Amino acid sequence: MTDPIVSAMVFYALAAFTLVAAGFVALSGNIVHSAFALFATLFGVAGLYAYLSADLLAVVQMLVYVGGISVLVLFAVMLTSGLDGPLTSNPTFRLGGGIVLMLAVAAAAFVAATAVPSGVESAAVPTTAAIGDALLGAYVLPFEVVSVVLLAALVGAVTLARGYKGGHR
Amino acid sequence: MTIGLPQYLVVSGVLLALGLFAIVTRKNAVAILMGVELVLNAGLLNLVAFSRFGGGLDGQVFALFGIVLAAAEAVVALAIVLQVFRARRSVDASKACELKE
Amino acid sequence: MHEVAPVLQDFPLLFLIPLLPLLGAVWNAVMGARMQRRFGNAAVHVPAILFPAGSFVISLWSFITLAGAPHGTSMYNYLWAWLPIGNLQADVAFLMDRLSGVMALVVTFVGTLIHVYSTGYMKDEPAYWRFFAYLNLFMFAMLVLVLGDNFLLMFVGWEGVGLCSYLLISFWWREREKAVAGMKAFVVNRVGDLGFSLGVFLLFWGLMTTPASPPASNHGQVDAHGAAVAAHGEEAPALGTSVAFREVEQILQDPVKRTRIVDRNVLGIGLITLVCLLLFVGATGKSAQIPLYTWLPDAMAGPTPVSALIHAATMVTAGVYMVARLHFLFTLSPAAMTVVATVGALTALFAASIGLFQNDIKKVLAYSTVSQLGFMFVAVGVGAYWVGIFHLMTHAFFKACLFLGSGSVIMGCHHEQDMRKMGGLKKLMPITAATYFVSCAAIAGFPFFSGFFSKDEILWKAFNSGNILLPGGGLILWVIAAVAALGTSFYMFRSYYMTFSGEYRGAASHGHDVVAKADGAHGAHDDPHSTDAHAAHGAHADPHSDPHAADVSGHDAHGGHGHLPVESPWAMTSVLAVLGFLALAGGYVGLPLLWGLPNVFEAWLEPVFASTADRVTSAGFGHGVEWALMGFSIIVAFGGFFAARVLYKDGRSPIPARLIASESALVQGTHRVIFNKYYVDEAYGFVFVKGSLVLSRALALWDSRVIDGLVNLAGTIGRAFSFLQGAIDRLFVDGLVELVGNVIQAAGTRMRRVQTGRIQAYVQGMALGALALVALAYLLAW
Kindly list the partner chains of chain C, i.e. chains with 3 or more CB atom pairs below 8 Å.
Answer: A, B
CB contact under 8 A, C763 and B24: yes
- Assigned CATH topology for domain A4-125: Four Helix Bundle (Hemerythrin (Met), subunit A) (1.20.120)
The verdict on pTM exceeding 0.80 is no
- At C321 the pLDDT is 92
Residues of C in contact with B24 (CB under 8 A): 760, 763-764, 767
Q: Which domain holds residue C138?
A: 1-149
Within-domain flag for C110: yes
Lowest mean pLDDT among C139-143, C325-329, C552-556, C648-652: C552-556
Within-domain flag for B34: yes
Task: State whether residue C230 sits within 8 Å of chain B by CB.
Answer: no
Which residues are within 8 A (CB) of C167 and not within 5 positions of it... i.e. 6 or more apart? C134, C137, C182
Within-domain flag for B91: yes
Please work out, in degrees rounded to the nearest 5, the angle formed at the alpha carbon of residue C393 by the alpha carbons of C387 and C396.
140
Residues of A in contact with C729 (CB under 8 A): 96-97, 100
Beta strand C8-10 pairing with C74-85: parallel
Residue of chain C nearest B56, judged by CA positions = C227
Distance from CA of C166 to the nearest CA of A (A): 21
User: What is the residue type of C255?
Assistant: P
**Measured between alpha carbons, how far is C221 from C8 in angstroms, rounded to an integer?**
13
**Measured between alpha carbons, how far is C375 from C388 in angstroms, rounded to an integer?**
8
Within-domain flag for B100: no
Q: Is the pLDDT of residue C90 over 50?
A: yes
Lowest mean pLDDT among C262-276, C496-510, C622-636: C496-510
Within-domain flag for C129: yes
How many domains, chain C? 1
CB contact under 8 A, B101 and C760: no
Predicted confidence band of residue C142 (pLDDT cuts 50, 70, 90): very high
Burial state string for C292-304 with b = 16 or more CB within 10 A and e = fewer than 16: bbbbbbbbbbbbb
Q: Is the pLDDT of residue C650 over 70?
A: no
Task: State whether residue C742 sits within 8 Å of chain B by CB.
Answer: no
Q: Is A68 exposed, middle or buried (0-12, 13-18, 19+ CB in 10 A)?
A: middle
Distance from CA of B21 to the nearest CA of A (A): 5
For chain C, percent of residues with pLDDT exceeding 70: 75
**Measured between alpha carbons, how far is C196 from C281 in angstroms, rounded to an integer?**
7
Predicted confidence band of residue A165 (pLDDT cuts 50, 70, 90): low
Lowest mean pLDDT among A57-61, A164-168, C341-345, C758-762: A164-168
**Measured between alpha carbons, how far is A24 from C700 in angstroms, rounded to an integer?**
57
Distance from CA of C751 to the nearest CA of A (A): 14
Residue of chain C nearest B21, judged by CA positions = C764
Residues of A in contact with C91 (CB under 8 A): none
Tell me: ipTM over 0.85.
Answer: yes
Task: State whether residue A105 sits within 8 Å of chain C by CB.
Answer: yes
Q: Is the pLDDT of residue C555 over 70?
A: no
Predicted confidence band of residue C711 (pLDDT cuts 50, 70, 90): low
- At B40 the pLDDT is 93
The residue among C213 and C114 whose pLDDT is bigger is C114
Distance from CA of A112 to the nearest CA of C (A): 9
Q: What is the mean pLDDT of residues C51-67?
A: 90
Give me the DSSP letters along C300-345: GGS-HHHHHIIIIISGGGHHHHHHHHTHHHHTT-HHHHHHHHHHHH
Which sign, positive or negative, has the C-alpha torsion A153, A158, A163, A167? Answer: negative
Q: Which domain holds residue B16?
A: 5-95
- At C236 the pLDDT is 54
CATH (domain of B29): 1.10.287.3510
Within-domain flag for C132: yes
Residues of B in contact with A92 (CB under 8 A): 25-27
Which sign, positive or negative, has the C-alpha torsion C376, C380, C384, C390? Answer: positive
pLDDT in tens, C147-166: 988 888 999 999 999 999 99
**Residue-averaged pLDDT of chain B:** 84
Distance from CA of A97 to the nearest CA of C (A): 7
Domain extents for chain A?
Answer: 4-125, 139-169
Q: What is the mean pLDDT of residues A144-157?
A: 88
Residues of C in contact with A104 (CB under 8 A): 732, 768, 771
CB contact under 8 A, A96 and C729: yes
How many domains, chain B? 1
Task: State whether residue C752 sits within 8 Å of chain B by CB.
Answer: no
pLDDT in tens, C316-372: 889 999 999 888 888 888 888 888 988 898 888 888 877 777 778 888 888 889 889
- At C700 the pLDDT is 65
CB-CB: which of A96, A111, A112 is closest to C743? A96
Within-domain flag for B101: no
Residues of C in contact with B99 (CB under 8 A): 755, 757
Distance from CA of C719 to the nearest CA of B (A): 13
Yes or no: say if C599 and C590 are a contact pair by the CB < 8 Å rule: yes
Q: Is A79 exposed, middle or buried (0-12, 13-18, 19+ CB in 10 A)?
A: middle
Q: What is the mean pLDDT of residues C590-606?
A: 78
Within-domain flag for C368: no
Residue of chain B nearest A19, judged by CA positions = B15
Lowest mean pLDDT among C367-371, C377-381, C599-603: C599-603
Lowest mean pLDDT among C96-110, C403-417, C530-544: C530-544
Residues in chain B: 101
- At C691 the pLDDT is 55
Which residues are within 8 A (CB) of A36 and not within 5 positions of it... i.e. 6 or more apart? none
Task: State whether residue C228 sits within 8 Å of chain A by CB.
Answer: no
- At C756 the pLDDT is 58
Burial state string for C177-194 with b = 16 or more CB within 10 A and e = fewer than 16: bbbbbbbbbbebbebbbe
Peptide bond into C291 cis (omega under 30): yes
Yes or no: say if C331 and C275 are a contact pair by the CB < 8 Å rule: no
User: What is the residue type of A13?
Assistant: A
Answer left, alpha or beta for residue C424, where phi above 0 means left and psi between -120 and 50 means alpha: left
CB contact under 8 A, B24 and C225: no
pLDDT in tens, C382-421: 888 888 999 998 998 888 888 888 888 888 877 777 777 7
For chain A, percent of residues with pLDDT exceeding 90: 15
The residue among C489 and C700 whose pLDDT is bigger is C489
Q: What is the mean pLDDT of residues C197-208?
A: 86
Kindly list the partner chains of chain B, i.e. chains with 3 or more CB atom pairs below 8 Å.
Answer: A, C
User: What is the residue type of C401?
Assistant: C
CB-CB: which of A48, A113, A146 is closest to B65? A146
pLDDT in tens, C434-451: 888 888 888 888 888 888
**Measured between alpha carbons, how far is A97 from C756 in angstroms, rounded to an integer?**
15
Q: Cα C670 to chain center, whole Å?
A: 46
Yes or no: say if A57 and A132 are a contact pair by the CB < 8 Å rule: no
Predicted confidence band of residue C740 (pLDDT cuts 50, 70, 90): low
SS3 C88: strand
CB contact under 8 A, A57 and B64: yes
Predicted confidence band of residue C137 (pLDDT cuts 50, 70, 90): very high
Q: Mean pLDDT highest for which of B85-89, C23-27, C599-603, C711-715?
A: C23-27
